[in-house]
Amino acid sequence: MYIPAHFEESRIEVLHDLMRTHPLATLITMSSDGINANHVPLLLIQELGQYGTLRGHVARANPIWTDLLSNVEALVIFHGTNHYITPSWYPTKHEHGKVVPTWNYVVVHAYGTLRIIDDAVWIKNQLESLTTQYEASFDKPWAVSDAPAEFTNQMINAIIGIEISVTKLVGKWKVSQNQPTANQTGVVKGLKRLDDLEASKMASLIENISQNAR
C-alpha cells in the first residue's frame, strides 16, 4: 500500500482500535487458481503476539482452507471511516481555484500466516468470544448456549476455524493532513453540515489529527 509519510499511522493501539471497531475484514489469500478474497468478521486477541492474533471462521464449503498456498502470507484489510471530500469546502478554492476532489479514509493492513483449525471445541470457544463481544451492547444479549445443543453442534460442524498471528501492521489515515489549516477547518464544517454519521466520524478524525499536529 502506498503511504505518504503524512498519512502513515503506526501506533499499535490506534490500529488495534480500528480492528476492534470494524471487525468485518477482507481476507486475501493465495490459492492454486490465484488470489482469493473473502469477507470475514475477525476477533482481535490483542495479548497474543507482538501485533495480536486474529481469529474467525468460514463455511466448511469455502475452498479458502482446502486450496491454500501455505507458503504465502495472508493479507487482512480492515476498512474504517471514509468520505468524499469536495473542493468546495476549501477556502483556497476561492483564492486561486487550484483544488481537486479527494476521498478521505482510514484503513489497516494486517499480514500473517493463516492457520486452519478443524477443532469443534476451539470453534465453539471462538463463536462464544465473538458473540459475547458484539452482543454486549444489546439489552438481552444472545449467547451460543441459547440455541439447542444439537442445532449448535450441526452449525459448528459446518464451519472451520481460522487464525492469523499478525507479523506486520500497516495503517493509513488519509484525513486531510496535506491541506492547510484553513482547508481542514472548511472540510470539518462541511462534513458536519451533512448531518450524516459517517461524515461526522470523519470530521472528528480530522479534528483530532489537526489538534495533535499543533
Tens of pLDDT, residues 36-79: 999 999 999 999 999 999 999 999 999 999 999 888 999 999 99
CA gap 92, 96 in Å, rounded: 6
Residue 42: inside a domain, yes or no? yes
Residue 92: inside a domain, yes or no? no
Tens of pLDDT, residues 164-209: 999 999 999 999 999 999 999 999 999 999 989 999 999 999 998 8
Cell readout for 53 is: 492474533
Report CA dihedral (124, 128, 134, 135) to the nearest 10 degrees: 120
Structural domain count of the chain: 1
List the domain range (segments joined by +) for residue 73: 5-80+102-177
Give ∠ CA 74-107-76 in degrees, rounded to 5: 15
CA gap 164, 113 in Å, rounded: 6
Instruction: Note the pLDDT of residue 93.
Output: 82
Residue 72: inside a domain, yes or no? yes
Amino acid at 208: N
Length of the chain: 214
pLDDT at 112 exceeding the cut of 80? yes
pTM of the model as a whole: 0.93
